[in-house]
Structure formats: C-alpha cells, structure tokens
Amino acid sequence: MLAPHKFIAFARPPDPVDQHQTSTFRRSRHNPEPLNSSSLMVHYCKACGKPATKLCSACTSKTWYCSSECQRSDWTFHIFDCNPRRPIDSSDYLALAVAQDRFPDDPQTKEDYGFNRALSAENQIVLLELFKGLILHRKVSSRRIHAWRVNGTLADGIKGTFEILPVHARGAYYGWFLQNQWVLDRSLSRPAHPLDAMIKRAWAYSGGSPALSTRPYIMSSIGAWPHTKRSIFLFCGAILSHGRPNPMEENWVTLGFCACHNEESELPLAAIYSEITERCTFEELYTAYDTSSLIALFDAKGLKTLHQQIPYLEDVLAGSPRHNKSVWNLKQVITAKDCRPDVPPLSIDYGFVNCRSPLDTELLKEVYREFFGLPDANPIKLHETAMRGQIFEYVGGLVKIKKKERKTLQRLMRNPYPLNDS
Ligand SMILES: [Zn+2]
Ligand SMILES: [Zn+2]
C-alpha cells in the first residue's frame, strides 16, 4: 500500500521560526499574563488555523505558525511569499501544482516537467498523478526532483523510486510513464499517433469547433474548466468511444459504476450514458451532473425504466459529484488495485485509520471484499450501520470471520460513531 497522503516532508526545514517568539511562547505558558500589548493579539496558524505564537522570521509577510511541523507543511505555499535562501525554481511550482491538484501554469514548469510535451489532457492528468505519487506518496522532495532534472536523470530517478515497490503498488501512472517516457526524456521522440480520437469525440459533443480540434487547443480549453466539467468531458469521450471508467478513476464512483455488482453489470449503465449523449447536450449533461440531478435528467429523457434496473444507482448519483457516501469509496478501494484507503472520510468511517500494518489493512479489505461479494450485499445498510458504529456486528453477521481474527477485526472496525448530539 502507498504511504498516507500527507504534505511534503522536506529534508531541510525552511528558515527557522523566530527564536525570540519561541521563547516568549515558552514564558507565557507559565505566566498567563500577557507579556506585552502585542501578545494580546491572537494570531492563527497559516497551516492548521489554530492559535499560533511563532512568526516566520525569514520574511516580513507576518505569517504565523503554531509549530515547526506546520511551518514545514506550509512551505510549498509560503516559499512564494517568503525570502527563501535560494532562487525559486520550476520544481517549487511543480510542488505547488501537486499540492493544489492542478496542472502547473508556470511556463518553465510546464516545459521542464513534460506538461508541454504530454499534449493530451489524459496524458497531462496521468503525468500530474505521477508527480503526485512521487511527491505526496513517495515523499520525494522538490529539491531532489530539481537535481534529477538538472543532471538529466529525471526519468531514472522516477524509475528508481517506483521500482523498489512491489509491482501492484507502483500505481497505474507508473505503467503509463514506462510507455510514455518521451514526455520527460527529450532524447526520445514522441510516437507519431493521430489526434486522440476520444478527446476529439468529446470535443465535438461539447460543441467545440471542428476547426479548432487540435490536441493542444482542446487541452488548453478544458484545462481552464472546473474540475467536474473536465471530468465529465473525459467521461463523455470514453462513453462515445464505447469505453467506461476504470475503477481507479473518480468517475467510476461519481457516475455510479460503483453501484454495479460486477464488471458485466456495468454494461447496462454504460448503455444508459451512451443513450443520454444522444438525447441531450453536453451542457445539459454537465449541469445535471454538477447539480446532483442526473437521475432527473434520465427520467426526463425517457430512461427511467432502464436506470431503475440498477440498484443503488440513485443513491450514488444523488450525492455526485461531491457528496457520495464513503461506502462507495470503500467499494472502489476493494475493487481497484491502486486505490488508497487512508483518505478521510473513508479511512475514519470504515476503520482504516486503526490499521497498524499493511497486514491489518489487507485483512480489513478482505472482509469488506467478501461483504461486497455477497449476492445481496446492501451497501446502504452497511453505511447506516457504520454511521451507528456497528460495522463489526453487521458485517460479522453476514461474512464468516475466523475466530483468531475476531479480536483484530473488532478493533479495526471501530469508528467514532454515533457522534454525540451536542
Ligand atoms: Zn498549525
Ligand atoms: Zn516567511
């Protein structure tokens, strides 16, 4: 399993927190009386929002932190307002893009890290995932990435980082990288393939001008769209090309494929989407998706009997694209190979925060996998019992649990629910 999602850990901490402020902080803890009028002012930590007593001493931006951990975690952002001891370079913009989960917009960064060469939107999305994997999961610092690039060893550095992992833990983006090294390695030439048919189909469907349907143009246009719009655009491209989302993808959850019992039962849902692209415009589809009203759109377009044959679809789509029940992410985690279970609220609701080792995580996943494998598995019921803090009782009543694993599972399946009313 990949490491938990955290901010970037820096090998060398940024400029130190002001020592004077630190000692004032220490004294004031013993003496509740304010030491001077300025300490009457309450400051808040830029990273976590808690009251803060430490000021970044390297700049005049008056940026406060509660701890050096918070200062370090915010450095990806604060470096741009601070006086770092070295020039800001493209790797800093890359780290910022990764932290904000969006494509870099600094031209040099796009050039240095392959976004200019990875012309298609899908390639750019996977490229960003690759850097997210490198920086967030594998904890490679932007300094090191910078050094690799300057030394011409970026591709080798990436390989060295991922190849020490077991194959299944390397992430789908690593497989993509191996096939598309030309994106980062200028000595390799780009394979001469035609404009991506999928993107072009989505572009035509979304009303884009055929005269402007070049990859770079489409890519730059959709790059400026809101995330949900870009996401449904790519989804339409897949559907119009007789494809459907991979369980790895966010769309697999938000467009309801997670409600299907198995891969085969995803086909009728793909057929509904294929039908809807013939019966409504891209804007209608996007608006319905973005406002959690796809079911109403299906009904209005005469697809009611079809969608009603897919149990739980209505529940998923009522929450899409932003408020899906975490049980659907649970299903994604046990279905897709490289999905991480350590992301809240899933990790909290379904006990992955209680896992102390990869073995714990595997055991928990295995039991949930058995649950979802039951022919009459009811995810909504599972979710309701989770919200009452009774996962073990419920799942244990449906799935055979080994005696020696009972205790561990009882501990793992604990969650903070039900919450007090106060
Ligand atoms: Zn803080
Ligand atoms: Zn500063």
Cα 20 from Cα 11, distance rounded (Å): 24
- Which ligand has the nearest atom to the CA of 58? 2
**What global pTM score does this model have?**
0.56
Q: Which ligand places an atom closest to the C-alpha of 49?
A: 1
Is the preceding peptide bond at 194 cis, omega within 30 degrees of 0? no
pLDDT for 12: 34
HSE-up of 194 (CA within 13 Å, CB side)? Answer: 3
Instruction: Please provide residue 317's backbone torsions phi and psi, each rounded to the nearest 5 degrees.
Output: -65, -25
Q: Which two tokens stand for residue 149?
A: 């690039």
- Output the CA–CA distances (angstroms, integers) from residue 195 to 56, 230, 294, in the order listed: 49, 18, 30
The mean pLDDT values, 10 residues at a time, for the chain of 422 residues are 30 39 33 37 91 91 92 93 93 96 90 85 88 95 96 94 89 88 82 67 92 84 94 92 85 96 88 96 97 97 96 96 96 88 94 95 96 95 97 96 95 93 56
Give the pLDDT of residue 395.
97
139 conformational bin, left if phi > 0, alpha if psi -120 to 50, beta if neither = left
Protein residues placing their CB within 5 Å of the ion ligand 1: 45, 47-48, 66, 70
Q: Tell how far the Cα of 333 is from the centroid of ligand 1, in angstroms.
A: 31
pLDDT of residue 122: 78
Return the pLDDT at 29.
32
What's the pLDDT at 209?
Answer: 87
- The ligand minimizing its distance to the Cα of 15 is 2
Q: How many CA atoms lie less than 13 Å away from 278 in the CB half-sphere?
A: 7
**Strand, coil or helix: what is 55?**
strand
Give the containing element (helix H, strand E) for 52.
strand 51-52
Cα(98) to centroid(ligand 1), Å = 21
Q: What is the pLDDT of residue 28?
A: 32
Select from 182, 169, 186, 184 the least CA-distant residue to 128.
Answer: 184
Q: Which residues pair with 56 in a beta bridge?
A: 17
Q: What is the distance in A from the centroid of ligand 2 to the CA of 16?
A: 9
CA of 52 to the centre of ligand 2 (A): 15
Neighbours of ion ligand 2 (CB under 5 A): 56, 58-59, 82
What is residue 17's DSSP assignment? Answer: B
pLDDT at 421: 62
For position 263, what pLDDT does the model report?
79
CA of 326 to the centre of ligand 1 (A): 27
pLDDT for residue 262: 83
